[in-house]
């Protein structure tokens, strides 16, 4: 058996579920990159994490109701974005506080919904699926929704790109130019909620910020323009997701259970490795 066969196990590329996972994961990675870059620049990683917890609420509600989890993630995320804007998360001072409160409420409700799911559906997989993702189980029926959400998130960022960039550099400079901070902030929050929903579908609600923040944080170390940072973030996210899928497929033969390790573990670990590698030039420079 050649080394190539060790890495790319036989049957990998002909498996429909792998193809589906590669496609969905690829779209998600490319959407998360630009949104993630802005999230890191704006210092709103915590808000992103709150969205992932709120999305978990939506996902568990969707599981209980038997509708598409992606729809649950996104609707709840957008509702959370509205709640956070209304409660004043845009103001720097109140941001952490409001984010923390909304996050806590989301997880609490999530706990209830997941508990109800286990009693109603007598399945125990709900919690794992919602919280830690199930990209191999993404049905091809959800592709149109994935692509539509991705396109919507990218369009929102593209439309407000320049005011968003300036307000991410300095809200004061943006205000001096007459930028409507609330509109730009709302567009960004919408894009963030959608990206988190997509990411939640791929690697799970709890882990979804890893795909959003990690590649972007590494990219900010490597690139000195917003465009190049987005390209780096996209490459890292895409590489991590695809390599994660390949490794997860390989892991079907691994101990202890011979059922495969979760994709999310591989993706998140690869993102972390990329982030650490991106720090190397700075360490050497010291």
Provide the binding-site residues for another protein, judged by CB under 8 A. 37, 40-41, 43, 158-163, 165-166, 169-170, 172-179, 219-221, 223-226, 228-229
Pick the closest to residue 21 from 147, 143, 129 (CA basis). Answer: 143
Nearest-10 crossing angle of helices 161-169, 181-203:
100
What does the alpha-carbon distance between residue 176 and residue 167 come to, in Å, rounded to a whole number?
10
Nearer to another protein, 22 or 174 (CB): 174
d(Cα 118, Cα 64) in Å, to the nearest integer?
9
Could you tell me the smallest distance in angstroms from the CB atom of residue 159 to another protein?
A: 5
Measured from the CB atom, is 230 or 251 closer to another protein? Answer: 230
Q: Cα–Cα distances in Å, from 225 out to 43, 228, 232?
A: 17, 5, 11
Confirm if 209 and 45 have CB atoms less than 8 A apart: yes
Write down the least CB distance from residue 280 to another protein, Å.
Answer: 15
Q: Which is nearer to another protein, 224 or 258 (CB)?
A: 224
Distances (CA, A) of 240 to 10, 123, 132, 246: 21, 30, 16, 10
Least distance (Å) between residue 154 CB and another protein: 11
| Closer Cβ to another protein, 125 or 281, answer by number | 281
Query: Which residue lies nearer to another protein by CB, 233 or 238?
Result: 233
Q: To the nearest whole angstrom, how small is the minimum distance from the Cβ of residue 96 to another protein? A: 17
Question: At closest approach, how far in Å is the CB of 120 from another protein?
Answer: 47
């Amino acid at each position: 058996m050649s080394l190539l066969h060790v890495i790319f196990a036989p049957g990998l590329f002909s498996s429909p579920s792998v193809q589906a996972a590669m496609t969905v994961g690829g779209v998600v990675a490319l959407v998360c990159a630009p949104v993630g870059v802005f999230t890191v620049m704006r210092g709103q990683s915590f808000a992103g994490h709150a969205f992932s917890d709120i999305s978990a609420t939506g996902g568990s509600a969707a599981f209980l109701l038997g509708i598409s989890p992606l729809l649950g993630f996104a609707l709840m995320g957008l509702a959370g974005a509205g709640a956070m804007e209304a409660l004043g998360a845009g103001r720097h001072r109140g941001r952490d506080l409001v984010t923390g409160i909304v996050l806590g409420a989301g997880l609490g409700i999530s706990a209830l919904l997941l508990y109800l799911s286990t009693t109603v559906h007598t399945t125990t997989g709900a919690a794992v699926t919602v919280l830690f993702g199930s990209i191999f189980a993404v049905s091809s029926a959800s592709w149109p929704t994935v692509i539509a959400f991705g396109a919507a998130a990218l369009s929102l960022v593209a439309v407000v790109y320049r005011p968003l960039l300036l307000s991410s550099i300095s809200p004061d400079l943006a205000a001096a130019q007459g930028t409507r901070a609330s509109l730009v902030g709302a567009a960004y929050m919408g894009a963030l909620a959608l990206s988190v929903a997509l990411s939640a579908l791929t690697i799970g609600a709890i882990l979804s910020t890893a795909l959003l923040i990690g590649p972007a944080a590494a990219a900010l170390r490597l690139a000195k323009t917003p465009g190049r940072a987005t390209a780096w973030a996209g490459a890292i996210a895409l590489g991590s997701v695809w390599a994660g899928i390949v490794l997860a497929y390989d892991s079907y033969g691994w101990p202890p259970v011979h059922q495969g390790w979760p994709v999310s573990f591989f993706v998140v670990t690869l993102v972390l490795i990329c982030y650490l590698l991106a720090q190397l030039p700075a360490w050497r420079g010291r």
